[in-house]
Each structure stands twice: as C-alpha cells, then as structure tokens.
Amino acid sequence: MSHAQIDYNIVPDVTSTYLINDVHIIKSPTDSFGLGDILIENGLIKKVARQIDPPIDAQVIEADSAYAYAAFIDGLSHTGIAKSEGKEDRPKVKFPGAAPNDVAGITPEKLAAEMVSGKESSIKSMRESGFAISHTAPSGKMLPGTGALIALSRGDAEDLVMKEKASIYMQFSGSRGVYPSTIIGVMAKWRNLYKNAQGLSDHRRMYKTNTQGMQRPKKDKSLQALIPLTNKEMSLFAKASKPKEIFRALQLKKELGYNLVLTNVKYVTPALQKVKQSGAHILLSTSLPKEEKKDKKSDKAKSDDKKEEKEKNPEKEALEKRKKETLKSYKSQAMMLEKERIPFGFSLMGAKPANVKKNILKMIEQGLSQEAALAALTTNPAKILGIDNVTGTLSEGKLANIMISTQPYFDKESAIKYMFVEGSKYEMEVKEKAAEGEAGEVAKSLVGAWSYDIEIPGDGQSGTIFISDAGVIEVEGDDEPGDKDEAENVKFNEDNVLFTLTVVNNGMELIVDFDLNFAGDSFEGNISVAEFGSFPISGSKKSSPE
C-alpha cells in the first residue's frame, strides 16, 4: 500500500486507527464526559480520555470542539433491502382457504440478512442521519420474515450483517384473496401457527431422547423459523401503528406469552398503561402526522366575504380544534412514555431518515427531555435488540459507532460532520442552511396540468400533476381518479421543481420525493421513495389555464 498520494476524502479507510481530537464527548444520555479525545482502533473504541497522544499510524481528526455521540440505532425498518421488483403475480390457487404459505404471506423463514445489499441508497441516507445500525426486516404481509441487524457501512452484504437472525417480524395485514385475508384471519392463523411451532419444538425435543414408536418431526420451514420465538431466544416485532393494533398485539402476547416489541408505533397514548403492564417493548415511529400549512389554498377562496364567512363556521372551527389537539397528543406521547418510565426506541419504517431530527425536536418541544430522546436513539434500542454490551454508548471496548455533530445534536442548527461505523470514517458535507420557507417563484410556463409516467419495473404508474399559479401542486393518479393529493415542501427554482408527496400504499405510508426538470411542454426527472430507491418520471403538458 502506498501512502504517498492519498486524498483522504476519497479513500478514508487507509488506516483503522483514528484519533478524534478535542471533542465534547457525550458517552451516554446520562454521562457527559466533557472535552476530550477518542482513540479508535480496529473498529473499536480503544480509549476515551482528556488527552491522548496520537499513535504513529493514527489519522488525527481535529474536531474543533464538536460533539461526539454514540451513533444511533434504528429499531426496525427495511433499510438495505430493495423494494420487490414490481407487483408480484398472485398465483391462482385452487383453494384460497389453503394457499401455500408463501402465497398467504407467511414466510418467517425468509432472511433479511440474505436480502440486504450494500448498494442500497437507504443505507447511506440512514448513515447520513446519524445511524450506524439498522434492524432490518423483509416487507410483505402477515409474516414477511426474519429480521437482521446490519451495520450501515459500505461493503458487501455479508460484511454488513451483524446478526443474521435477530427477530420475527409480523404485521396485521392479510393477503388479498387468500387465507388469512383480514385482521380476524391473521389473528386466528397466528394462534394456530404459534401453537404448532411450540408443538413441533416439543416433538423435536422428545424425538432427540426417544425415537421408539414415535413418528419423526415433520419438516416445516415456517414453523421451524418460529421456534426461537417460542423459547424466547428471539422477540416478535409486531407492527402496531395505532391503538387498536397495539391492543391486539398485547392480547396475543398475553395469550401466547412470547417477548413482544411493538413496532412503528404512531400513537400509543390510549394504550399506555396496558403497554406498561404487559412488559412489551416499544419502538415509536419517527414520522409524525402531516401538519397543514396556513393559507395554502387561499387562491380558492376568491371572494373575501366568503372567506370570512368560512372562517367563522363554528362547526368547522370545533373540528379543527380537536384535530389540532390530537396532533399535539401525537407529538407529546414520547413525553408521556418518558413520564411513565417506559423506555422506548425509534423505528424508521417508512420514515424519511432526514426528518428524524426535525420530528424529534417537535417531541422535545412537547416536553420530551433531551436525555430521553438520546436514549431512544442509542441505549434503549441497543437494549431492546440485545446489543447493549457492544454498542449504544461511547465506552471503551465498544464498537466505534460514533456520530460527530458540529453543535449539540438537538440544537436546531447542528449538522452531522462525521460518522464512524465500526471504525470506518465517513465525512459529510455540511451545507450552509438555505433560507427557510422560500418556495420560489412559479414560472408562468409551468402553470397547468401535466401528464406523468413513472417507470417502476413491472408496475408503471401514470396520472396528472396540477400546478397552480399560486404554487400549489396536486397529484392525481390514474388509478384513483378524483383523488388529488396535495404536495408538500414545494420548491420552484426556474425550470426545476421539487416537492414531496405522502401516499398510503397497502396501509403503509410512503414519502415520495419529486425532482422534475421542465423544458418547454415536457419534463423529465426522478421520484425517490424512502427506502426503496428512485425511479425515472417523465411527462408532458395537457392543458394551460384559460
């Protein structure tokens, strides 16, 4: 190896020894070490001290009094796994009530570890938001598969996998057209599967000691995959976004007795006490409900008189008020969990990593302490995932999973400057913050209706994008005529238009980023979907305003 002409920005892994010099060290949510140095060797934190002399092979990073935290841990998502290519054909089955397991959405034996690809852009975007480890699971229906713990670093899939079989992932989603197709089918099927996994486990144990006069245990890969759940070597991660799903997940835990982690929880408050009593762990979603921006549709209320009348509608006002209160309680539930002393982590399933900080700051605004927020990003998920002995804090001997922020992380203006994932260094470009709320001017040529086509392998989608002269963008898919979704975060920059759309697909909330370049009567660009990668989009003008 030649050390002569290395550009450290391109080849950061030239040494496995780093000294982070002069950094505020937040060892754990409750232990702030103050200014000091961190020595990293062979992927581990070798030493944390006030002053460390750099070893000869160390690259010294002058941190200039930045802030070092244990890098974050994502409780559960689909990070690193490609979205299945297009729509899978549903094979025609003779008896929909007895479809093969894979058709029925029952594939706990599918390993996320074998589906992870180091090339997935989701790994990078998670890392750039401060995460060093994801717990990732396959997508699907009732039992999509076995989750894996992966390091969010470069490299081959095999290098990334820290733990191949970390969990069983379950959702209350039925398979369309075959059993189980509804929530009642899923719950009944789950009881049946679980008890048979227990039965198979017992049978295997008996067969080991005495085969005389005993049939051999049958081979059933789905049941076999569930056995570690029945003997508590693994936990069930059940997606339970809303209170009803939480209550249902707790009911099944109570009946069957496994370890449960409630996952992608969007609203828990009504079930708080029951969660506490149950001993289940909880992973809050990092996404929050969309908040309406004011005066967006003001162009619609043309007449001032009418507008005033509308504003004074007491019924509407009362409804708006309750909506606002509910929104507030979504934002304050993290604080409620803290108050009830229920440790929780975060799940980034379907969420945009770049929004994590923004949303956690909203929770902090509602009373969540910074310590609890940091614990939810580090020590709590480490405990829930059973890796607190190797990561979650900046302690000597633990994995060198470190996030370095220009200012205290929970300061609004802070930015992540470096990430270390198992000792590999990543340097981020810290951008100058753009002025907020500047949507830009709408070029006259853009106003009107535009057809679009999105190229998704096997599942092309088309529809219409409406751009108003006030800069409001609405999107209407051809599959749902009349159902227009309004875009958010709209930015016009001459012929370049950026916006995001939140769509619900199979009960899953997806955030879609549009990046369109207009030229004359046509446009080209990309859409990207959190976790699933990006797809080309193109279109042409259908009509201009009269």
Partner 1 sequence: MKKIIFIASLVLCSLYTFGQAETGDILIKNGTVITITEGIKENTDVLIRNGKISQIGEGLDAGNIKTIDAKGLYVMPGIIDAHSHIAIDAVNEATNPNTAEVWVGDALNPYDINIYRALAGGVTISHAMHGSANAIGGQCETIKHRWGVMDPDELRMEGAMRTIKFALGENPMRVHGERNSIVPATRMGVEQVFRHAFEDAKAYTQQWKDYKSGKTKVPPEYNLRHETIAGILSGEIMIHCHSYRADEILMLMNVLSDYGVDKITFQHVNEGFKVAPELAEFGAYASVFSDWWAYKFEVYYSTAYNAAILTKNGVVTSINSDSRELIRHLYHEAAKAQKYGDLSDNEALRLITINPAIQLGIDKRVGSIEVGKEGDIAIFKEHPLSVYAINQYTIVDGVVRFDTNSDPNDMRIDIDPEESIPAFYEEELHKCGHNHADGCLQDVHFYNLSYRK
Residues in contact with partner 1 by the rule CB under 8 A: 87, 94-98, 176-185, 187-188, 191-192, 195-196, 199, 202-203, 206, 213-215, 243-244, 247-248, 251, 269-274, 289-290, 315-316, 318-323, 325-327, 330, 479-480
Spatial separation of the C-alpha atoms in residues 279 and 283, rounded to whole Å: 13
Closest distance to partner 1 from the beta carbon of 289 (Å)? 4
The nearer residue to partner 1, 113 or 246, going by C-beta atoms, is: 246
The nearer residue to partner 1, 318 or 430, going by C-beta atoms, is: 318
The sign one gets for the Cα dihedral 273, 278, 281, 287 is negative
The nearer residue to partner 1, 195 or 444, going by C-beta atoms, is: 195
Residue with structure tokens 């108050």?
339
CA-closest candidate to residue 134, choices 80, 171, 69: 80
The nearer residue to partner 1, 155 or 270, going by C-beta atoms, is: 270
What's the N-to-C CA distance of the chain in angstroms? 68
The nearer residue to partner 1, 119 or 176, going by C-beta atoms, is: 176
Q: From residue 472, how far is each of 300, 413, 467, 492 by CA, in Å?
A: 11, 28, 6, 11
The nearer residue to partner 1, 112 or 268, going by C-beta atoms, is: 268
Closest distance to partner 1 from the beta carbon of 350 (Å)? 14
> Residue 59 pairs with which residues in a beta bridge?
18
In angstroms and rounded to an integer, the radius of gyration of the C-alpha atoms of the chain is 26
Tokens of 480: 């749902």
Q: Is 200 helix (H, G, I), strand (E, B) or coil?
A: helix
The nearer residue to partner 1, 349 or 497, going by C-beta atoms, is: 349
Closest distance to partner 1 from the beta carbon of 214 (Å)? 5
Complete DSSP assignment for 118-184: TT-HHHHHHHHTTEEEEEE----SSB-EEEEEEE-SSS-HHHHEEEEEEEEEEES-PPTTSSS-SHH
The nearer residue to partner 1, 182 or 493, going by C-beta atoms, is: 182
User: What 8-state DSSP symbol labels residue 67?
Assistant: E
Closest distance to partner 1 from the beta carbon of 76 (Å)? 23
- In contact, 142 and 174? CB cutoff 8 Å: yes
Closest distance to partner 1 from the beta carbon of 346 (Å)? 19
Closest distance to partner 1 from the beta carbon of 465 (Å)? 20
The nearer residue to partner 1, 217 or 392, going by C-beta atoms, is: 217
Tokens of 314: 């007491």
Spatial separation of the C-alpha atoms in residues 450 and 525, rounded to whole Å: 13
Q: Is 314 helix (H, G, I), strand (E, B) or coil?
A: helix
Spatial separation of the C-alpha atoms in residues 371 and 85, rounded to whole Å: 41
The nearer residue to partner 1, 43 or 270, going by C-beta atoms, is: 270
Closest distance to partner 1 from the beta carbon of 291 (Å)? 8
Q: Where does residue 336 rank: exposed (0-12), middle (13-18), buried (19+ CB within 10 A)?
A: middle
Closest distance to partner 1 from the beta carbon of 285 (Å)? 13
Closest distance to partner 1 from the beta carbon of 512 (Å)? 16
CA-closest candidate to residue 241, choices 341, 174, 172: 172
The nearer residue to partner 1, 87 or 300, going by C-beta atoms, is: 87
Instruction: Sort strands 235-239 and 260-265 into parallel, antiparallel or unpaired.
Output: parallel
Residues 6+ apart with CB under 8 A from 49: 36, 37, 39
Closest distance to partner 1 from the beta carbon of 182 (Å)? 4
Closest distance to partner 1 from the beta carbon of 395 (Å)? 39
